[in-house]
Amino acid sequence: MSIIVMQRLDPADRLSMTAPAGASLAEIVGLAAPGAPVEHVRVLVAGHVIERRHWHVVRPKPGAEVLVRLLPGDSGALRAVLTIVVAIAALTIGNLLAPGLGTLGASLISAAVLAGGTLLINALVPVRKEQAASGDASPTYSISGMQNSLNPDGAVPRLLGEMRWAPVYGAKPYTEASGNDRYIIALFCCGYGPLELPTSEMRIGTTPISQYDGVTVEVREGYASDSPVTIYPNQVSEDAISIQLLQSGVHTQVTAPDVDRASVDIAFAQGLYAVSKGSTTVKYSWGVDFQLRYRKVGGASWTTMTFNVSDNNSNPFLRTFYFSFPERGQYEVELMRTSINWDDFTADPNYAYSTRSDWVALRGYRPEYPLNFGKPLALVAVKIKATNQLNGTLDGFSVLGRSVLPDWDSASGTWIARATRNPASHFRHVLTGNAATYPVSTDEMEALEDWHEWCALKGLTYDRVHDVSGSMADVLADIAAAGRASPQDRGGRWGVVIDRIMDVVRGHISPRNSWGFSGRRPLARLPDGFRIKFRDETNDYEEAERVVPLPDFYGEPGVVEDLALPGITDPDLIYREARRRGYELKHRPDTYEVQMDWEHLANTRGDLVRLSHDVLDRTQVSARVRTVSGSTVTLDEIVTMEAGKAYACRFRAEDGASILRGVHTAPGETRAISLTGAGPAPAPGDLAMFGHAAEESLECIVKGVEIGDDLTAKLILIDHAPQIEAETDAETPPAWSGRVGAEAGVSLIAPAVPVIFEVLSGSIIGP
């Protein structure tokens, strides 16, 4: 006969044993739970509860499965007696979803359903899953690394904190020739300013831009007083072309609309020169003539111009020719080569020629500034020589930026503009800054100075480029989560709820001022650890991944679950915050709900309250003070005390203050208790919470308030669990390198198979 003993509500903690055939339930209970009070034991056979008075006559058949469950007792360690209902519901869902998978498949589905939502259900600071919609991916990063891209009609980026990233193009890049060299001109939009954008930190790929020749950089940090960029002063539309120009061919292209001037690029891919057939080392200059005509689209008459290109150059080079139109519009441009095709001219017995020419680009220019945006933007304009340096266009340009925002300065007691990574400063800016669609005033915010100092004390930071469309609520939630907080909208005033140790009790909840108590605990099989993807600030903000084991797990994690910690880039902080989430799972497994009348108005989300209920601990008694005479307080409920145990009683005074007094132990039942020690005395009518010392009530945090009818509300509570913060602060993150995998070692690499190319025989003649 199989016996399952449930010491806790978590199925992972169950014990299995066997009992001899023919044993009664009373004998089985004595074997499974020796010494346990029978009133705290529940027995189920084949899913049916067997009443205690029948235990001595019920003898399960051989092969039957008996479940012995220990119910919460005096210790108060098991507070969530009703969570068994949640577990049964989840397992039922799993079995319905996968009827054909068998027991193992159903268990896996059930575990996935529960484990995935545990943090979201119980956390005061919820974890938001990253759910990027199709087509909503960040233009800043790609699978191949940092790469610039065009993002028309996309979100204007906003850097918060510090980050290296590839800014999007503010306008299409284009090329132009200067002498024999080709240059790329690009304008990058770094988003809303102001930002610190040091030129020394700008790179192309992994190479500092200062290592390149022929570089000119203009930086506009995003202040309202910034002057326009001069490297890219006008709107430019460039069309890439690849047409070989021959004497017999006339080629026509059309400019962009509404331009007032244009330019064409002619490339000489094999150089331009003549060489003597008698001496191929002697080169001579040679020239090619071209004719360019243009007219407005739909016009009848052409305007003609001619030009010549002469050089003595055997390397590829480019020439750019500019011309203006009499008025703005869209124009047809016709280009032809009027010189003969010297490369094919073989009649000359003395010289050979290299004169191949190709029309490679047509540009149209408008006199307007390339950007039309009503708010200051941080911009970087770059002109860089491409010849012998860049292959193609400039698309691997990155910057290291720092946001300059109002930041709380505790020394001066004011908010000053400076580079900051503090989540409180970012939260304030998102609500009030120039990137907000409907900015709020500082009068509509609660003081964030305290939170700022808290983040600085704990070393909490937020660094992220927001470059995709998203709601302000999501952005505020991500910023607040990095500072161990969650946004709080009090109806016209914005603030945050900080998840930290609190010592001021804001409310007292017992059956005397509430009803409908319930509790639940998700029966989730936790993973071995969390896997967090982040931008590693110790490795130039490259994408990295860290696996952090949960508390009480030792060894190499085998089963891990993804955890999103947006905005955190410090590997050590990643470790601590992931461990903190693990401590929340460990110390806050339960959620409690109570219904209250208008008294709930005294409590709001994030408040510390004291909860007393006999479901949590049967020794807890909720009462009111009837009379007070010296140190003797008479309650309107009977309390029971046992010899050798310490008791206490907490009172809620008329002004809401929490009064905790020790109680003299008088074994037996009584309504009159004698207070010990010094302290304030309660008054008749005060709410009283009686129980074991240090267990007369449970410290809880108000996680949520759901308003009902007739001034009622449901309060959702979780454990205060101050040990979460203490254990997190005591964490020492292991050394971080960011390397992936182990070194292979030279000895593990097999040598290549030798190949014999030649065999020589004979004697060796020495010197």
Residue 179, number of CB atoms within 10 A of its CB = 11
Residue type at 17 in one-letter notation: M
Of 616-620, 704-708, 741-745, the least confident: 741-745
Of 91-95, 249-253, 571-575, 582-586, the least confident: 91-95
Q: What mean pLDDT is predicted for residues 9-21?
A: 53
Of 64-78, 357-371, 638-652, 752-766, the least confident: 64-78
Higher pLDDT, 181 or 718: 718
Structure tokens at 37: 């009070």
Q: What mean pLDDT is predicted for residues 32-37?
A: 74
pLDDT tens per residue across span 586-609: 999 899 999 999 888 888 899 999
Q: Please give the DSSP secondary-structure letter assigned to residue 256.
A: P
Distance CA 738, CA 538 (A): 9
The dihedral of CA 244, 245, 247, 248: what is its sign? positive
Residue type at 646 in one-letter notation: A
The dihedral of CA 150, 151, 155, 160: what is its sign? negative
pLDDT tens per residue across span 665-683: 999 999 999 999 888 999 9
Helix (H, G, I), strand (E, B), or coil: what is residue 86? helix
When the pLDDT of each residue in the chain is averaged and rounded to a whole number, the result is 83
Residue 249, number of CB atoms within 10 A of its CB = 11
DSSP per-residue codes, 487-542: EEE-SS-EEEEE-S----EEEEE-TTT-EEEEEE-------SEEEEEEEEGGGTTE
**Inter-residue contact 621 to 637 (CB < 8 Å):** yes
The pair phi, psi for residue 518, each rounded to 5°, is -150, 160
Residue type at 766 in one-letter notation: G
Asked if residue 122 has pLDDT above 60, the reply is no
The residues, any chain, with a CB within 8 Å of residue 219's CB and separated by 6 or more, are: 197, 199, 379, 380
Identify the pLDDT of residue 129: 64
Q: Any idea what the Cα angle at residue 669 is, between residues 665 and 674, rounded to 5°?
A: 40
Asked if residue 634 has pLDDT above 90, the reply is yes
Residue carrying structure tokens 């956390």: 123
Asked if residue 654 has pLDDT above 90, the reply is no
Asked if residue 501 has pLDDT above 90, the reply is yes
Asked if residue 276 has pLDDT above 70, the reply is yes
**Inter-residue contact 628 to 527 (CB < 8 Å):** no
155 confidence band (pLDDT: 50, 70, 90): confident
Distance CA 253, CA 276 (A): 37
Q: Is the peptide bond before 194 cis (omega within 30 degrees of 0)?
A: yes
280 confidence band (pLDDT: 50, 70, 90): low
Identify the pLDDT of residue 67: 76
Identify the pLDDT of residue 75: 37
Helix (H, G, I), strand (E, B), or coil: what is residue 115? helix
Of 39-43, 397-401, 724-728, the least confident: 39-43
470 confidence band (pLDDT: 50, 70, 90): confident
Asked if residue 288 has pLDDT above 50, the reply is yes
Which stretch of DSSP H or E encloses residue 84? helix 83-97
Distance CA 63, CA 760 (A): 84
Of 59-68, 295-304, 609-618, the least confident: 59-68
**Inter-residue contact 120 to 131 (CB < 8 Å):** no
Identify the pLDDT of residue 445: 79
Structure tokens at 684: 């008749």
Q: Which of 425, 381, 436 is nearest to 403 (CA)?
A: 425
Q: What mean pLDDT is predicted for residues 702-711?
A: 90
Asked if residue 255 has pLDDT above 90, the reply is yes
Asked if residue 751 has pLDDT above 90, the reply is no
Which stretch of DSSP H or E encloses residue 95? helix 83-97
Residue carrying structure tokens 């409180």: 424
Identify the pLDDT of residue 13: 43
Q: Which of 233, 491, 564 is nearest to 383 (CA)?
A: 233
Asked if residue 391 has pLDDT above 90, the reply is no
631 confidence band (pLDDT: 50, 70, 90): very high
Q: What mean pLDDT is predicted for residues 219-247?
A: 92
The residues, any chain, with a CB within 8 Å of residue 70's CB and separated by 6 or more, are: 5, 6, 7, 33, 36, 40, 41, 78
DSSP per-residue codes, 591-632: EEEEEESGGGGG--TT-EEEE--TTT-TT-EEEEEEEEETTE
Distance CA 614, CA 736 (A): 48
Percent residues over pLDDT 90 in the chain: 54
Asked if residue 518 has pLDDT above 70, the reply is yes
Instruction: Name the residue ranges covered by the structural domains of the chain.
Output: 2-71, 141-235+371-400, 238-366, 592-727
Distance CA 115, CA 323 (A): 68
Q: What mean pLDDT is predicted for residues 273-290?
A: 82
Identify the pLDDT of residue 17: 61
**Inter-residue contact 658 to 648 (CB < 8 Å):** no
* Residues linked to residue 533 through DSSP beta bridges, in sequence order: 545
456 confidence band (pLDDT: 50, 70, 90): very high
Helix (H, G, I), strand (E, B), or coil: what is residue 398? strand
pLDDT tens per residue across span 342-380: 776 666 777 888 889 999 999 999 999 999 888 899 999
The dihedral of CA 145, 149, 153, 157: what is its sign? positive
Identify the pLDDT of residue 145: 61
112-137 burial, b at 16+ Cβ within 10 Å, e below that, comes to ebbbeebbebbbbbebeeeeeeeeee
Fold (CATH) for 2-71? Ubiquitin-like (UB roll) (3.10.20)
Distance CA 603, CA 609 (A): 8
Q: What mean pLDDT is predicted for residues 121-134?
A: 62
Structure tokens at 456: 């600085």
2-71 and 238-366, same CATH topology:
no
Which range has the top average pLDDT, 13-17, 52-56, 57-61, 318-322? 318-322
β strands within 559-712, DSSP E = 560-562, 591-596, 608-611, 621-629, 632-641, 647-652, 658-663, 668-676, 687-692, 698-707
Distance CA 134, CA 137 (A): 7
**Inter-residue contact 149 to 504 (CB < 8 Å):** no
Of 30-44, 153-167, 348-362, the least confident: 30-44
Identify the pLDDT of residue 47: 53
CATH number of 238-366: 2.60.120
Identify the pLDDT of residue 742: 65
* Residues linked to residue 55 through DSSP beta bridges, in sequence order: none
Of 78-87, 401-410, 608-617, the least confident: 78-87
Higher pLDDT, 31 or 256: 256
Identify the pLDDT of residue 389: 86
Higher pLDDT, 101 or 583: 583
Residue type at 56 in one-letter notation: H
The dihedral of CA 363, 369, 373, 376: what is its sign? positive
State the Cα torsion 81-85-87-93 to the nearest 10°.
-170
* Residues linked to residue 409 through DSSP beta bridges, in sequence order: 414
Structure tokens at 661: 């007094």
Q: What mean pLDDT is predicted for residues 740-756?
A: 67
First to last CA, the chain: 96
Asked if residue 510 has pLDDT above 90, the reply is yes
Which range has the top average pLDDT, 79-93, 272-286, 343-357, 532-546? 532-546
Q: What mean pLDDT is predicted for residues 556-560?
A: 89
Structure tokens at 208: 């500092």
289 confidence band (pLDDT: 50, 70, 90): very high
